[in-house]
Structure 1
């Protein structure tokens, strides 16, 4: 038999060209023509089907048809979304990604739909893929940063940077394993650090579970990178769904967990531990047969906790949780009734209410005053299953706390000591340098009863629904008890107290529909829709309460509106020419109205054709439309959506002499979210449009410039967009705090485990909800103007700007905090940095930091893309003539 190697080699055959198929080509041609015709007729569903057929039969046409296919897909997806065909929507995106698996625009769009519908893990995956395909794709980058804040919350970075906390957990786990607990389950593993501590301590078997898909995948990467992939079995599962032997082969001897929040029980640790004791943990007095002569009972780290609290006075907490003013912008609030935040532990609170919020007391603007000594509220043993099971049925504890300091009781501040074992514990107290915040239980106290030494504060403590609930129900003075959660006479006749007397709710008539206006519909349609869930009581978000308490904000708007509605516009109508040179958008949008308007004291004497129309498209609850409607010659439209909030505005209108017909609710005029909205009249355009420009967190609102462009096209001659201009200011600072809250700083704080590169993928360069006044930082420069947005003339704006800033001190520039001066007109403005502002600030964290010396010039490159602000910094070697210089690129 000849050797195979002696066989002659076959020559390379020429690849045959595919044979032309006339019928196939004809089908492709006709389908492509049909797709384009359907697209022209706005029949997007049929066009999408034709494009699918064309691109499957003729893949060589992908580049040619890509843009049209994308456009068709997005339009068809919007239609499917509007009628609730969500599964069909995602099926279309999946079909599109089969054709274009590397199309970053389609990936990003699908991620946006997923995120909006609550599928955050899946959305993050699509945004991440889009960024890998095109790292400089701004839409995907902004979306990824937004979803990253949901999936990997900022406390993960603080916790992992807390070396003291990590070390104490490691030591407690080490001791438990050395004492025989060598099979371990890490519940809520996060990055996997506690499971890795157990393995490093010598545990024979380590299991871990994590519910979040993102954190599960992250933990798998971390464990693999640290060489423990074969030693730690991680399950993408909730511990309550785990079973033996389905998920783990046998019961374990040790459960480690840190599923605790600022209120201790808020992450469900009680329920998960009860389940673990019954199904996953060894019961007491069990001998481990696979390790002779070593006895171990099942146990939990942490072993237990002690909860502490104290009553505090804090203006900052107060103004976010209850109404503190009786008049806003010239409107009396006597008829408003009881408005409060959705944080309440009162007996009438329902499931929509939160029992507590959180604050880092050491960084609360204005500080706080302790009105009582710290008190012990609760003890819990996590190694006693009967105690865990009996927690929710414990009798309510009623405590009488001696008042030690005069002040207004605004909240109970709560923290705990976490007992890891008998020797080691962690405290989350306000004086500790810890990664935890404190739980804040606001005190309703509608009449602002002041306490003084010698009084007693009555606090009720319970654990209904396995939540820790503390409620300050009464104050006691000289044996007299006065409730704090409802109106009452003051404790002392000499002490002030208010007792609002709500007017009955009038029965408004339904607004008469008016003609359609496509641009107005588009503008109002850009409003972020809120949930239409039924509410058991009239509550406002904490930021909305703070906004109502911001008297300077409302006084400023009152001045600016008065100037426009009683001065500038009146002169325009009398003279037939604008008071100021018109901007191009308003001059092309409408012809000046020449009818003379005379302001009268009653609406009945004002003709409809002489009315000025004001539209307030602020997000959430707003009184600005009602402030405008106080003028007799004005009809105002509000975008307030919730019926209970509309009722509040109606009550206030009646109490302040504003006729019902002069205040209407814009979004009530649409039958559904997609229906066209209505204009106020055929002839008139808007005299003023009020935009909500800055989010409470400190960022520019999404799609602001799109709103501004539409608004400027809807103004009558001389009309105005409020605000007309926004100026962004910033400052160079050195702040280790911002670094620790933004990224894990190497392997040292994480006990030598390699975690930072993996979790830092979710680092977001812009730190939001920042209190700059209490931020631990060094100022390295004066404040400087960074950016200007002109809302009246959107075409005059730019997208990039370079600013030269002079360092006044030497140090590391780690961040650039920023805030806004919001100019309502040429003379009136409000700042988001003011002490009574309802806004927080934000900061761009620089990676890496920039070393500077006093006198150095730093060149900041500032970019604004939609609502996303980015900055980079470098030392500028060029000499500068002035204190600051700028260069800009017009969009």
Structure 2
């Protein structure tokens, strides 16, 4: 959670105009009014303490700041010291409920807002302030920033959201299994809930920057108000802590498949100055996504023009939940909850078909077996069905995934008795099983190798005496690019982004030069080189059990000469993977394929201008299934 808070801080500073706009209400509110100046302030969830420093510059005499995150507390203290405000601001490591002040303050600043507005605890925090009399609201003067907010919503069609949260019908599974349960992501919306246990297990919402979503989206409805709140009204705060619900009829403005309810907010900082996080605004804010998961067997989530859709909007404590209500519709199946990254993997039909194609080309031999490290139950069942071999799977995944995996296998009775899990049966460990091939899918959805996956392949090949691997080789391809957006994604570029305060170095100390989970199709970038091969890993290379040095498939360093094809400012290297089997002429996967579910990963490098025709030396290091790239 500490590092997640730092990442959120980085996102906040991506948009310089937004930060500058945010400063104006502080200065305006702190200025003289009919009731005199603001003499004291409380900065709740202070983060880097930037607004405490703005207040100090504006002449506020007594400034208190607090953050419940211990890492952010220490960053705030160091930032105040570096900027010379350590004697002007008193910082406390505490939650608002633990805070004691010598006297009420004139102004409370609370920027605890997430994509769904309520998720970072702004309601509970401000209620604690009023309950403990931390703020002086006895005079007719603004005592809170922000003073209120309106949360908006809309119905959208979006294929990318759909394939990350819902198995779209059973036809994809029917290739290998007839499931007797529904599959949903761990942040899908259930109404009516399959069970209270399932309802509590899922996240209220996901968050996505809709203007950057892969493949785009379509607005299916008019914008509607989900909630409106005056944050200075204690009664309204209490009502939302206790929980309230409203039902809203929403009119569809065009027909389409209803995939999600998208929510955003417009927060009023002071009179006439707002933060608007709507999907059409070019800011760093994401929107809250409530995937719609109706019974796909009956409704298919289709909406017609002018159709009225009934929405339930609930606020309780720190949670906002939105659901679509369908009259007389009930779940007829058990619900299984899996992570969004796994659900995207299961929905990747191209990946599944390429593995099936390779299985059809393998020699059938019922006396041999496959050792499957793919962690994909569809691929496992297909391997058993198409090769006529027994399949052994390691039970090394998280327990919830192992349970789901076994349930999918159990739905396919014909293959169930021939799919085994290591640890439940000692035959494989005892050498009674002869394995023909090791099967793997070594790349995560985010675009990086699974942790220690190459070392695990090596270990299993040695201990189980396996010579053949599918894929046979793993190619790592790369490209040099120029992308300021990518730099902003990973770090605070400079102190101009933070109103001139010395903050960037403090935040960037916790950032990595390595990035992952980037959607290249919507990233603003300039390709400075052609794609080039950085590594070629032979997963079937000959192994000597007596040689204790790691083979090249696990550890190596390479240098490549790469020519620049256009002028630009180099600041990043993308890389991706291809897994293929030359012996049977099969390409299993290419993680740069826009039709697949994979994202891209890479490394930031020291920015430098480059010209067409320049030759650069690229050094790549592979170690512990991690890739490091430098440009010399």
Describe how 1:506-517 pairs up with structure 2 within 5 A.
none
Equivalent residue for 2:143? 299
Shift of 1:777: 1.1
Asked if 1:809 is matched to 2:607, the reply is no
Q: Check whether the contact 2:176–2:382 (CA below 8 A) recurs between aligned residues.
A: no
Larger-gyration structure (1/2): 1
| Partner Cα separation in structure 2 for residue 654 and residue 873 of structure 1 | 50
The partner residue of 2:262 within 397, 410, 413 is 413
* Residue 324 of structure 1, CA deviation: 2.1
How far does residue 280 in structure 1 lie from its aligned partner after superposition? 4.6
Aligned to 1:564: 362
SS in 1 for 2:620: strand
User: Over residues 535-579 of structure 1, what are the superposed CA-to-partner deviations in whole Å (9 max), with x where a residue is unaligned?
Assistant: x9521111111111111111121222333342xxx5xxxxxxxxx
Establish whether residue 853 from structure 1 lines up as the match of residue 611 from structure 2: yes
Task: Give 1:739 shift.
Answer: 1.3
The answer to whether the 8 Å contact 2:370/2:390 transfers is yes
Distance 2:427 2:144 in 1: 62
Question: Paired residue for 1:229, among 80, 86, 105?
Answer: 86
Structure-to-structure mapping, 1:329-348, within 5 angstroms: 331-346=175-190, 347-348=192-193
Pair 1:842-2:597 in alignment: no
State the partner residue of 2:442.
Answer: 693
Q: Is the 8 A contact 1:326 1:332 kept in 2?
A: no
Could you tell me which residue of structure 1 aligns to residue 538 of structure 2?
Answer: 790
Measure, in 2, the Cα distance between the counterparts of 1:221 and 1:253: 26
Residues 664/440 of structure 1: CA separation in 2 closer, same or farther (3 Å cut):
same
**Could you tell me how far apart the structure 1 residues matched to 2:348 and 2:373 are?**
19
Q: Shift in Å at residue 163 of structure 1?
A: 1.9
CA distance, structure 2, for counterparts of residue 175 and residue 226 of structure 1: 23
Whether the 8 Å CA contact 1:726–1:788 is kept in 2: the answer is yes
Q: 1:420-499 alignment to 2 at 5 Å?
A: 420-445=269-294, 446-447=296-297, 448-474=300-326, 483=329, 486=331
Q: Tell me whether 1:746 sits opposite 2:494 in the alignment.
A: yes
Cα deviation, 1:590-622, whole Å, max 9, x if unaligned, reads xxxxxxxxx5xxxxxxxxxx3x22222345x53
Please give the TM-score of this superposition, normalised by the length of structure 2.
Answer: 0.90
Deviation at 1:392, TM superposition (A): 4.1
Aligned partners of 1:625, 1:174: CA distance in 2, in Å? 62
Asked whether the 8 Å contact 1:411–1:443 carries over to 2, the reply is yes
- Residue 202 of structure 2 is aligned with which of 353, 360, 363? 353
User: In 2 relative to 1, CA 716–325 (structure 1 residues): closer, same or farther, beyond 3 Å?
Assistant: farther
Alignment match, 2:544? none
For the residues of structure 1 that align with 2:415 and 2:557, how far apart are their CA atoms?
47
Q: Secondary structure at the match of 2:579?
A: strand
Distance 2:403 2:447 in 1: 30
**Partners of 1:721 and 1:444 in 2: how far apart?**
38
CA contact (8 A) 1:684 1:716 kept: no
**DSSP-derived class of the 2:247 partner:** strand
> Are 1:215 and 2:72 counterparts?
yes
- Does the CA contact (< 8 Å) of 1:252 and 1:298 recur in 2? no
The CA deviation at 1:150 is 4.4
Q: Structure 2: 5+ residue runs without aligned partners?
A: 542-549
- Secondary structure in 1 aligned to 2:257? coil
Over 3 Å counting, the alpha-carbon distance change for 1:653 and 1:227 in structure 2 is: closer
Q: Does residue 552 in structure 1 map to residue 350 in structure 2?
A: yes
Matches within 5 A, 1:125-274: 150=4, 152-153=6-7, 155-179=8-32, 180-243=37-100, 248-274=101-127
Structure 1 residues 863 and 655, CA, compared in 2 at 3 Å: closer, same or farther? closer
CA distance in 2, matches of 1:817, 1:211: 36
Deviation at 1:327, TM superposition (A): 4.4
Output the CA distance in 2 between the equivalents of 1:853 and 1:151: 39
Looking at secondary structure, tell me which structure has more strand per residue.
Answer: 2
Q: Following the alignment from structure 1 to structure 2, what is the Cα–Cα distance between the partners of residues 472 and 173?
A: 39
Question: How far did residue 656 of structure 1 move?
Answer: 4.1
- Say whether the 8 Å CA contact 1:861–1:873 is kept in structure 2: yes
Per-residue CA distance 1:327-362 (angstroms, 9 max, x = gap): 458734432421110113324243221010011111
Cα 1:858–1:816 shift into 2, 3 Å: same
Q: CA deviation at 1:430?
A: 1.0
When residues 407 and 486 of structure 1 are mapped into structure 2, their CA distance, relative to the original with a 3 A threshold, is farther
Equivalent of 1:736 in 484, 493, 496: 484
More helix by share: 1
Contact 2:176 2:381 in 1 (8 A): no
TM-score by length of 1: 0.65
**Cα deviation code 1:616-672 (max 9, x no counterpart):** 2345x5333222222584222234567776666566556545254312222445xxx
Higher relative contact order (CA 8 A, sep 6+): 2
Matched position secondary structure for 2:182: coil
1:555-634 superposed matches below 5 A: 555-566=353-364, 570=365, 610=367, 612-619=368-375, 622-630=377-385, 633-634=388-389
Aligned-partner Cα distance in 1 for 2:178–2:427: 33
| Structure-2 separation of matches of 1:781 and 1:450 | 44
Preserved contact between residue 344 and residue 442 of structure 1 (Cα < 8 Å): yes
Q: Equivalents in 1 of 2:455, 2:400: separation in Å?
A: 30
Q: Is the alpha carbon distance of 1:824 and 1:388 closer, same or farther for their aligned partners in structure 2, counting shifts above 3 Å?
A: farther
Is 1:833 the counterpart of 2:592 in the alignment?
yes
| In 2, Cα distance between equivalents of 1:228 and 1:748 | 18
